[in-house]
Amino acid sequence: MVFPKALFPSAALICLICQGAQADPMRDRIEDFQADADLLARHWAISGDSEAELARERKLLDDWQAHLREVDFAALSADQRIDYVLFRNELESLQAGLGKREEARRELSAWLPARSAIDSLADARVRGEPLVPEKAAGSLAPLAEQITKLQEQLKAAKEAEKQSKKAPEKKEPPVEKHDTTPVPMPSPYDALRSAEVTEELAGSLKRWFENYNGFTPEFGWWVKQPYDEMAKALADYAKFLREEIAGVKGKEEDPLLGKVIGAEELQRQLRIEFIPYTPAELIAVAEREFSWCEEQMKAAAREMGVGDDWKKALARTKLHYVKPGEQEKVAREEGREAIDFVKSRQLVTVPPDCEEWWGTRMLSSGEQKHTPYAAYAGHDMLIAYASDGMKHADKLMTMRGNSRPFMHNVVPHELIPGHHLQNFMAARNRPYRRMFSTPFFVEGWALYWEMRLWDLGYHDTPEEKIGALFWRMHRCARIIITLKFHLGEMEPDAMVKFLIDRVGHESFGAKSEVRRYIKGDFSPLYQAGYMLGGLQLRALHGERVGEGRMSEKQFHDTVLTLGPIPVELVRASLNDLPLTADYAAQWKFDAGGQ
């Protein structure tokens, strides 16, 4: 296709565009780093955390930290200084995360004997080294047997462990010692992680094989047979680790597996998130907020005529569910009500395209095992509700857990003025700052709006108040149980019991929640980010709007233009606070709560 000449800018205009693009030294650096990181990730996409990839990633981060040190911080504008602090903090966080990935390789190495060999094949392809089919077959040939042998050893060790628990302890006669080191038994959690890495290795090997098979002469003749054996061995081994050692079989009674990170690592991650509190202090904040919720629950229960028995009121509220097939309609109706509420009161700007371009999608019964409630996915609000493939008890459970009073609070959280509006604005205002996204802003913004809508009387009926308070208590509980878990003070079963007994969750939903909290796919602080980020934004609202320095709409619109960054740096921007190159968290945002 030939494009009209008028579509191309003149040389002079190109020059002006280039000059404008170079006017912000921090934004330029951040965008260049993003481009480098994206290209590196694409370059190594056929591999996966190989030693060569990790080493190259470390060099990239070291190089960019050196580039950042070249910046004259004193010459930067206030906005650029915020970018500097954000970028420095991000590089430090990525370095720490890289160290954790390297540590994970070492921790799991005993149960992944084929990892280095598969990585070597993939790395050679990344570097474009010539392939010698006979040599490749030779490196693959012994691996299936190694994996099968390891699987048999672990199976025997598991059986011996099982028998030792049954039989009374007795002295065994001395046996001749052999110069062999038995393979240690992985914990159920390490077995699950090893199973996941084994599946990733199988995928890496498959991509490697398909790139050459049918294209390189003699490749299939040499490699197909050892590859087929290896693919089967990997699949069998991953299944064995997952089901027999970890005990994870895709059922509700599967064990809840996670890893405690400890107080020191929690404190380090809190510094990265610009939260100048200890875990114990945050638990105390959450417990205070939880108590406030319980008192409000009792007040709503009295409105419903059941005295202070808020659990009875909650049970009645859960019965306000709609018939199967009507839940999408409910979401859209609640979405429209929330939009009309914030627009009519001039609380925040809602661009017409943002108001129009959102949708809904029903979650499958399988997806609901990990996402038992509504969620946001960039454009769609994901809706959890009963499907025909569920057991009868599960159908009723998910309907109760997503009743209409609950949706009255959830929909504005996920759509407008919550995540959908937030996502829309972040893509159009300082989009380069999306790299610095933190749950304390992203989830905090949506939780803040739950608080704000409550304060503004959005919930008319006691049932709607109960629905809102249930979710607010849930966010308090998340802080308490996840931080206590990572401090080694609460076991997964106790976390489930807390959600059921203290918050009012159904068993299915509580287990799904805890499974997601502890598995390690999210930051250990992700669940704490909802309520704590909401409290930060509420405190900042008090400083700016409560003291008459900004209108409600000005505050919300301005915050949305700053990007999903730590709220302390949002505050620094709004209050024009001085920053240093090594700026660290210092804002004590909690002043006693409700």
Q: Looking at residue 170, what is its pLDDT?
A: 54
pLDDT digits (tens, 9 = 90+) for 232-254: 999 999 999 999 999 999 887 89
Mean pLDDT of the chain: 91
Asked whether the beta carbons of 97 and 261 are under 8 A apart, the reply is: no
What was the pLDDT predicted at 216?
A: 93
Mean pLDDT of 470-489: 97
Residue 592: what pLDDT?
58
Compute CA 409 distance to the chain's CA centroid, rounded to the nearest angstrom.
Answer: 22
User: Residue range 547-573: average pLDDT?
Assistant: 98
pLDDT of residue 48: 72
pLDDT of 593 > 60? The answer is: no
Q: What 3-state class would DSSP assign to 134?
A: helix
CA angle 516, 517, 523 (to 5 degrees): 110
Q: Is the pLDDT confidence value at 491 over 80?
A: yes
Residue range 192-204: mean pLDDT, rounded: 96
List for the chain the helix, strand, coil content (%; round to 5). Answer: 65, 0, 30
Query: For residue 363, what is the DSSP state?
Result: P
Could you tell me what percent of the chain has a pLDDT over 70?
Answer: 93
Average pLDDT over residues 89-107: 95
The CA-based diameter of the chain, rounded to the nearest angstrom, is 92
DSSP conformation letters of 174-241: P----S--PPPPPPHHHHHHHHHHHHHHHHHHHHHHHHHTTTSTTHHHHHHHHHHHHHHHHHHHHHII
- State how beta strands 375-377 and 359-362 pair: unpaired
Q: Is the CA virtual torsion 314, 315, 320, 324 positive or negative?
A: positive
Predicted confidence band of residue 11 (pLDDT cuts 50, 70, 90): very low
Q: What percent of the chain has pLDDT over 90?
A: 83
CA atoms of 187 and 172, how far apart (whole Å): 26
Rounded Cα gap, residues 382 and 50, in angstroms: 35
Report the pLDDT value the prediction gives residue 167, as an integer from 0 to 100: 60
With cut-offs at 50, 70 and 90, classify the pLDDT of residue 22: low
List, for residues 262-312, the tens digit of each pLDDT value.
999 999 999 999 999 999 999 999 999 999 999 999 999 999 999 999 999
Distances (CA, A) of 335 to 279, 341, 348, 466: 36, 10, 15, 19
Q: Work out the average pLDDT over 400-414.
A: 95
Instruction: Indicate the DSSP class of residue 589.
Output: -
User: How confident is the model over 332-365, as pLDDT tens digits?
Assistant: 999 999 999 999 999 999 999 999 999 999 999 8
Q: Is the pTM of this model over 0.85?
A: yes
Residue 176 has pLDDT above 50, yes or no: no
Q: Which helix (H) or strand (E) holds 316?
A: helix 310-318
pLDDT of residue 12: 42
